[in-house]
Amino acid sequence: MQKILFAGPVGAGKSSAIASVSDSGVVHTDVGATDQVAELKARTTVAMDYGTLKIDESLTIQLVGTPGQQRFSFMWDILSNGAVGVVLLLDNSRPDPIDDLAVYLRAFGGLIQQQGGAGVVGVTHIDCSSTPSLAQVHRCIVQMGYQLPVFEVDARQREDVKILLLALASELNPSTYRRRVAAR
Amino acid sequence: MGFDQEGFHVHGAESHLESVMRSGDTASFRAGDCLLGMIKQGFESGCAWSIEVEGSGVVHADFKKGIYQASVRSEANFFGVNPRYATVAPFRHGVERGGRPVEELLWKAAFYGSFGRLLEGCNLFDVVELQRWPNFTRLPHSVCCLPLCSLLARRPSSIAFAHRMLRVPPGDAMRFYSAARSAGYLRVISAQPDASGPSAMLDTEEDPSGSSFSGFWTRLFGRVVGL
């Protein structure tokens, strides 16, 4: 089975995004949140979220949500193994979404840049905070050496998550594929 | 020809779509033929305007602050209207915080005003490069727009090449190009001086995945479209 990762900081909407498009019931590995996370939400993912998207009788895509807390970052490498693409979700209501972007691009940049890999970025909670703007997020992505699609997203809305997946599929399509790093 | 077949609200004697088809002007359109011209004037003015189309709604745009708010029943009806049915007035109250980026109006006006035609000044053989993906979760588009963006972001190409490579219907390709150029998402690397109309585009068998390859990723694309 092919695998698509959903990555990003705590509360960005990874679990919600998977749930909005998964064919099967989403398996969560979450527990009651403690420490600072408890101020954001009641539960937090400690291993991964798991959903599926059935393409046809012979093909099913795994939708895997990574834990958001950086102390579980060892799981990011494990879960990246065998993934073909990553959806990075950023929470615009967090104190420094640009710093979050840098953290997750560094962590998953190898997957994005590998032969046959790709990434897209979804920015959530823009209704809570309009800055940074999508243009600012895109500029940072280019400065870091990438050229990725960036969209405003409500992770609970299937139509928004659908756009993320369509963009990812487009980036992975061999007809458009030629890996290049954005010009600095 | 890739005209949008949506039913447009009629103002006056005929709908804009019907007048376009009756006139036989199928090759290209000018910004002044739709709300795009009005919106571009708004950008130049740097003022706050209300643009109203009776029966369709109103857009309050503060071009200085860079935000707008819309109260429209149907964006296709509103932005696809003949501009003679739109009224513009200064909007003294200003747009409240929380409005949308005003650049979105450029895309919407060109997208809905295109009716599958090419914006005047654009050439199908211009070599262009996508600078940034349009925010498709909040902008009108066809699914063909996404593979077009992916290709044009990775390798500067012409729309004529891209539409054939990805088997995108000509009308969709021209509508995308008109909207993307109007909204500033495309950088023209090499402009072609000679006008070339739809005859330069070959009819293509529509492939919703945007690719002639029936591989894994086209199957994924097709599945996601069906979500």
For residue A59, the chain B residues in CB contact (below 8 A) are: 216, 219
Q: Domains of chain A: which residue ranges? A: 2-182
Higher-scoring residue by pLDDT: B133, B201: B133
Q: Using CA coordinates, name the residue in chain A closest to B133.
A: A149
Q: What percent of chain A has pLDDT over 90?
A: 64
The answer as to CATH 3.30.70.20 being correct for domain A2-182 is no
- Write down the mean pLDDT value for chain B: 83
Q: Do B220 and A169 touch (CB under 8 A)?
A: yes
Select from B161, B164, B220, B227 the residue whose CB has the most chain A CBs within 10 Å, as the one to mutate to test that interface.
Answer: B220
pLDDT band at residue B162 under the 50/70/90 scheme:
very high
- Quick one: pLDDT at residue A47? 63
Vertex A111, ends A67 and B143: CA angle to 5°?
95
Greatest alpha-carbon span in chain A: 47
B217/chain A closest Cα distance in angstroms: 6
Q: Do B213 and A173 touch (CB under 8 A)?
A: yes
Q: Do B210 and A151 touch (CB under 8 A)?
A: no
pLDDT band at residue B93 under the 50/70/90 scheme:
confident
Q: Is B189 on the interface with A (CB under 8 A)?
A: no
CB pairs under 8 A between A and B: 106
Q: Using CA coordinates, name the residue in chain A closest to B166.
A: A175
- Quick one: pLDDT at residue B27? 77
A151/chain B closest Cα distance in angstroms: 5
B141/chain A closest Cα distance in angstroms: 11
Q: Is B161 on the interface with A (CB under 8 A)?
A: no
Greatest alpha-carbon span in chain B: 55
pLDDT band at residue B201 under the 50/70/90 scheme:
low
Which stretches of chain A are assigned E, i.e. beta strand? 2-7, 27-32, 43-56, 59-65, 83-91, 118-124, 150-152
For residue A170, the chain B residues in CB contact (below 8 A) are: 146-147, 149-150, 210, 221
| d(C-alpha A43, C-alpha A34), whole Å | 8
**Sheet strands side by side (includes A43-56):** A27-32, A43-56, A59-65, A2-7, A83-91, A118-124, A150-152
Q: What percent of chain B has pLDDT over 90?
A: 67
Which residues is B87 bridged to in the sheet? B52
Q: Is residue A183 scored above 50 in pLDDT?
A: no
- Quick one: pLDDT at residue A179? 44
For residue B217, the chain A residues in CB contact (below 8 A) are: 169, 172-174
pLDDT band at residue A178 under the 50/70/90 scheme:
low
Interface pTM (ipTM) of the complex?
Answer: 0.89
Q: Is B185 on the interface with A (CB under 8 A)?
A: no
- Dump pLDDT digits (tens) for A126-162: 999 999 999 999 999 999 999 999 999 999 999 999 9
Q: Is residue B18 scored above 80 in pLDDT?
A: no
- Dump pLDDT digits (tens) for A81-100: 999 999 999 999 999 999 99
Q: Domains of chain B: which residue ranges? A: 1-115, 117-227
- Quick one: pLDDT at residue A95? 96
